[in-house]
């Protein structure tokens, strides 16, 4: 299987993760005018499943180091199977809430609040589980990102007050999504073999390669989607109920939007798990959550969610992007120590 051999490559992969995690929701924005997010989400999950299989049978099976994708799955212990599946269930619930928040409050708010909160808690959780890197630089970097998140929230509050519309439901959903999402990653990494053994081409009985762990994680997403998303379809967070008949009446563009969104997200997550083998869980996860800034960038500059904002709002947004960049820089440096 393909493994990450240098810290530099790990950082590069986390930047790809950042772009993927911060950009996949654009596919929902493209489809949302005629396509409810509950229907979009079925295709999104399908895209994730397709990618997990493609990635496993290609990069997860090539080369002569470590176990191949099928071999890793066949020897997995019960706990190594269950942990990623639990991670998938937790992620899916949090992500459905995030997608709902995006549809209500927009990318410029849902991403900084939801994914930003996820970053702070997730870095702490993953560092405790697998301490790697300079903790002082790491948590100073995270602290700076927290300030950036607060500035973004202040900017959006100013904007919504000026428009006499405060989407409280969207903000609450973002917070719930961020809290839940902080926990999924550690369940996946619990099942993955020791990175040093993987790098040396050795196996660890019952443990998984990152490719196999990601596959079982996706199984958790798929299974739970029949519970969570079916319920949301019948009892929607906003709007009238939708049904499966409407899903099958969707056009090709609507279905492709969701599948492509799933493929983009899955690419970012797979690369992040590979990068964690060299950079450590907390740093890899933290850098990937720079997706917050990417999502805000799309919301501000492409979707014009802050169109017509006054000078004070624009200053807050500029400071937000500057602090996000500085915080991510410190997290990168933390991994070299």
What pLDDT sits at residue 25? 80
- Per-residue pLDDT for 164 more than 50? no
> What does DSSP assign to residue 62?
-
Mean pLDDT of the region 183-211? 85
**CB neighbour class for 333 (10 Å; exposed up to 12, middle 13-18, buried from 19):** middle
Q: Are 119 and 292 in contact (CB under 8 A)?
A: yes
Q: Which residues contact 80 (CB under 8 A, 6 or more apart)?
A: 190, 191, 206, 207, 208, 213, 216
In the chain, what are the domain boundaries?
A: 7-334
Residue with tokens 């929230």, as numbered in its chain = 153
In whole angstroms, give the CA distance from residue 54 to residue 57: 5
User: CA-to-CA distance for 178 and 40, rounded, in angstroms?
Assistant: 21
For residues 123 and 286, is the Cβ–Cβ distance under 8 A?
yes
Neighbouring residues of 5: CB distance < 8 A, sequence distance ≥ 6: 199, 278
What does the mean pLDDT of the chain come to?
Answer: 87
Closest among 107, 105, 113 to 176, alpha carbons compared? 113
Q: What are phi and psi of 114, to 5 degrees?
A: -70, -60
**Contact of 78 with 214, CB cutoff 8 Å:** no
Q: Report pLDDT digits (tens) over 90-109.
A: 999 998 888 778 777 766 66
Q: What is the C-alpha separation between 63 and 85, in angstroms, rounded?
A: 27
* 44-49 mean pLDDT: 96
pLDDT digits (tens, 9 = 90+) for 250-300: 999 899 999 999 999 999 999 999 999 899 888 898 888 777 778 777 877
Residues 11, 275: contact at Cβ < 8 Å? yes
52-56, 65-69, 140-144, 219-223: the lowest-pLDDT one: 65-69
Judged against a pLDDT cut of 60, whether residue 162 lies above it is answered with: no
Integer angstrom CA distances of residue 205 from 1, 57, 86, 208: 17, 21, 21, 8
Phi, psi of 291 (to 5 degrees): -55, -25
What's residue 107's pLDDT?
61
Residue 32 has pLDDT above 70, yes or no: no
What is the C-alpha radius of gyration for the chain, rounded to an integer number of angstroms?
A: 19
């Amino acid at each position: 299987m393909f493994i990450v051999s240098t810290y530099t490559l790990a950082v590069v992969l986390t930047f790809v993760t950042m772009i993927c995690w911060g950009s996949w929701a654009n596919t929902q924005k493209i489809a949302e005018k005629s396509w409810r997010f509950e229907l979009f989400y079925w295709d999104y999950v399908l895209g994730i499943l397709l990618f997990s299989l493609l990635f496993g049978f290609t990069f997860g099976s090539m080369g002569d180091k470590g176990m191949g994708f099928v071999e890793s799955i066949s020897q997995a212990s019960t706990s190594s199977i269950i942990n990623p599946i639990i991670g998938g269930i937790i992620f899916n619930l949090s992500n459905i809430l995030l997608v709902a928040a995006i549809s209500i409050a927009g990318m410029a708010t849902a991403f900084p609040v939801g994914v930003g909160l996820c970053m702070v808690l997730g870095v702490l959780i993953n560092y405790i589980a697998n301490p790697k890197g300079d903790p002082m630089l790491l948590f100073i970097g995270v602290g700076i990102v927290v300030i950036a998140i607060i500035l973004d929230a202040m900017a959006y509050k100013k904007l919504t007050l000026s428009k006499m519309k405060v989407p409280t439901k969207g903000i609450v959903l973002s917070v719930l999504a961020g809290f839940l999402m902080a926990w999924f990653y550690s369940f996946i990494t619990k099942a993955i073999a020791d990175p040093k053994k993987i790098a040396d081409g050795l196996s660890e009985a019952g443990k998984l390669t990152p490719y196999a762990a990601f596959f079982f994680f996706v199984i958790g997403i798929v299974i739970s989607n029949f519970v969570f998303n079916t319920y949301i379809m019948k009892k929607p967070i906003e709007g009238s109920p939708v049904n499966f008949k409407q899903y099958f009446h969707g056009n090709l563009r609507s279905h492709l939007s969701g599948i492509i969104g799933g493929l983009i997200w899955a690419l970012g997550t797979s690369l992040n798990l590979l990068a964690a083998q060299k950079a450590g869980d907390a740093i890899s996860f933290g850098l990937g959550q720079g997706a917050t800034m990417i999502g805000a960038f799309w919301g501000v500059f492409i979707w014009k969610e802050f169109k017509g904002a006054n000078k004070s709002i624009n200053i807050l947004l500029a400071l937000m992007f500057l602090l996000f960049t500085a915080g991510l820089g410190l997290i990168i440096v933390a991994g070299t120590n």
